[in-house]
Amino acid sequence: MHIDILTLFPEMFDGVLQNSIMKRAQEQNAFSYQYVNFRDYTINKHNKVDDYPYGGGAGLVLSPQPIFDSIHDIKEKADKPPRVVLLCPQGEPYSQQKAEELSKEDHLVFICGHYEGYDERIRQELVTDEISIGDYVLTGGELGAMVVIDSVVRLLPGVLGNAQSAPMDSFSNGLLEHPHYTRPADFRGHQVPDVLLSGNHAKIEEWRHYQSLKRTFERRPDLLKDRELSAKEESWLEEWKNS
Catalytic residues, which ones? 89, 116, 154, 169
Say if residues 140 and 193 touch (Cβ distance below 8 Å). no
Q: Give the CB-side neighbour count of residue 230, counting CA atoms within 13 A.
A: 5
The response to whether 40 counts as a known ligand-binding position is: no
The response to whether 113 counts as a known ligand-binding position is: yes
Instruction: Tell me the sheet residues that pair with 173.
Output: none
Please tell me whether the peptide bond between 157 and the residue prior to it is cis, using omega within 30 degrees of 0: no
The response to whether 155 counts as a known ligand-binding position is: no
Instruction: Tell me the sheet residues that pair with 111.
Output: 6, 86
- Measure the CA–CA gap between 53 and 160, rounded to whole angstroms: 45
The response to whether 229 counts as a known ligand-binding position is: no
Coil, strand or helix: which one is 40? helix
- Burial status of residue 195 (CB atoms within 10 A of its CB: 0-12, 13-18, 19 or more): middle
- Measure the CA–CA gap between 26 and 34, rounded to whole angstroms: 12
Q: In this structure, what is the dihedral angle of CA atoms 112, 81, 125, 89, given to the nearest 10 degrees?
A: -30
The response to whether 86 counts as a known ligand-binding position is: no
- Measure the CA–CA gap between 234 and 70, rounded to whole angstroms: 53
Distance of CA 17 to the CA centre of its chain: 14
The response to whether 136 counts as a known ligand-binding position is: yes
The response to whether 133 counts as a known ligand-binding position is: yes
Annotated binding site for S-adenosyl-L-methionine: 113, 133-138
Which residues contribute to the annotated binding site? 113, 133-138
